């Protein structure tokens, strides 16, 4: 009996070894790119939300890769908002222009972070509809005159989302030059200002005159100096000389930092206005009549 068991054990060991060798051989056949996709696909299917989110985010590093685009589009339907937002961001990063329809549909998402990510991606893809969300966040209403959507209002009442959005949109207080420390102290107490300031800075690229007017109104009427300063920075960046009066009014602001931003805007817009003004030349003198 023991002899039979021993023979069975030997056969089992041989079979197991053969299976291992076969698996190693199959792995060895994979080229580096295939191995890389195996790793990435494992991340995309991982049950851990953070790992899945990271795997989706890096898809944005793969422009013109149909497989990556397909994976990102699939991730837009993930049950976790962080993954959906990462998918929208990835589609924008990879310049997937044919995904604009799907991204616009994400404006109906239940999570404000996903809506913002989709809007940002649309702007990256050259779709002006993305600016509508930022305009709504800054002014409280859509460009059509309708009230702010339920999901945008939800974001305004979510301090964590507000702060996260402000930082993720790249505000980082860099646009305020030397105001970093003061801005940081303010934001530790105020989580609304970062998102409004970030929205204002994004609207610097929106060619719609309504956004320019919204920036002018914000520059003079918002109670937060960091938002007023951001609006003035955006006015300077737009280079829209018709907004010069709004910049000039900022020179009377009671906050030094806002006045500095207003001064920069005034200088830039004044210079631009001078360059665009027609040059008036004196009429050429008529040649003297020839003597007969």
Instruction: Please tell me the predicted confidence (pLDDT) of residue 11.
Output: 45
141 beta partners: 147
| The pair of three-digit structure tokens given for residue 241, joined into one six-digit string | 């000389």
Q: Are 50 and 17 spatial neighbours (Cβ–Cβ below 8 Å)?
A: no
Instruction: Please tell me the predicted confidence (pLDDT) of residue 149.
Output: 65
CATH topology of domain 46-127: 1.25.10
Instruction: Please tell me the predicted confidence (pLDDT) of residue 159.
Output: 58
Instruction: Please tell me the predicted confidence (pLDDT) of residue 39.
Output: 86
Q: Are 143 and 125 spatial neighbours (Cβ–Cβ below 8 Å)?
A: no
| Cβ neighbours of 11 (radius 10 Å) | 10
DSSP readout, 145-208?
A: SPBPPHHHHHHHT-HHHHHHHHHHTT-TTGGGGGGHHHHHHHHTT-SSHHHHHHHHHHGGG---
In this prediction the pTM is 0.69
Q: How far is CA 279 from CA 6, 263, 275, 285, in A?
A: 104, 26, 9, 18
The closest of 71, 125, 68, 70 to 100, measured between CA atoms, is 125
Instruction: Please tell me the predicted confidence (pLDDT) of residue 202.
Output: 87
| Cβ neighbours of 229 (radius 10 Å) | 29
Q: Do domains 46-127 and 162-274 have the same CATH topology?
A: yes
Pick left, alpha or beta for residue 46 (phi over 0 → left; psi -120 to 50 → alpha; otherwise beta).
Answer: beta
Instruction: Please tell me the predicted confidence (pLDDT) of residue 155.
Output: 63
For the 162-274 domain, the top CATH level (class) is: mainly alpha
What residue spans define the domains of the chain?
46-127, 162-274
65/4 Cα distance (integer angstroms): 57
Q: Using 70 as the pLDDT threshold, list the residues of the chain that sit under it.
A: 1-30, 145-189, 191, 277-292
Instruction: Please tell me the predicted confidence (pLDDT) of residue 289.
Output: 58
Instruction: Please tell me the predicted confidence (pLDDT) of residue 274.
Output: 82
């Amino acid at each position: 009996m023991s002899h039979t068991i021993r023979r069975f054990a030997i056969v089992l060991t041989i079979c197991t070894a053969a299976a291992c060798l076969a698996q190693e051989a199959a792995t060895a056949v994979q080229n580096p790119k295939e191995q890389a996709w195996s790793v990435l696909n494992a991340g995309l299917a991982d049950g851990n939300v953070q790992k899945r989110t990271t795997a989706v985010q890096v898809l944005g590093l793969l422009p013109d890769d149909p497989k990556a685009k397909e994976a990102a589009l699939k991730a837009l339907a993930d049950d976790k908002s962080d993954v959906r937002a990462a998918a929208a961001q990835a589609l924008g990063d990879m310049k997937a222009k044919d995904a604009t329809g799907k991204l616009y549909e994400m404006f109906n998402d239940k999570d404000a972070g996903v809506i913002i990510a989709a809007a940002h991606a649309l702007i990256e893809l050259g779709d002006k509809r993305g600016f509508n969300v930022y305009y709504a966040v800054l002014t409280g209403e859509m460009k059509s005159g309708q009230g702010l959507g339920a999901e945008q209002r939800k974001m305004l009442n979510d301090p964590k989302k507000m702060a996260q959005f402000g930082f993720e949109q790249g505000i980082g207080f860099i646009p305020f030059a030397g105001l970093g420390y003061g801005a940081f102290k303010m934001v530790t107490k105020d989580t609304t200002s970062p998102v409004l300031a970030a929205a204002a800075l994004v609207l610097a690229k929106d060619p719609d005159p309504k956004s320019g007017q919204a920036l002018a109104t914000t520059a003079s009427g918002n109670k937060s100096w960091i938002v007023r300063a951001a609006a003035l920075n955006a006015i300077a960046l737009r280079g829209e000389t018709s907004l010069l009066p709004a910049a000039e009014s900022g020179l009377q602001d009671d906050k030094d930092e806002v006045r500095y931003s207003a001064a920069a805007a005034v200088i830039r817009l004044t210079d631009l206005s001078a360059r665009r003004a027609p040059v008036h030349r004196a009429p050429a003198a008529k040649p003297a009549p020839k003597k007969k």
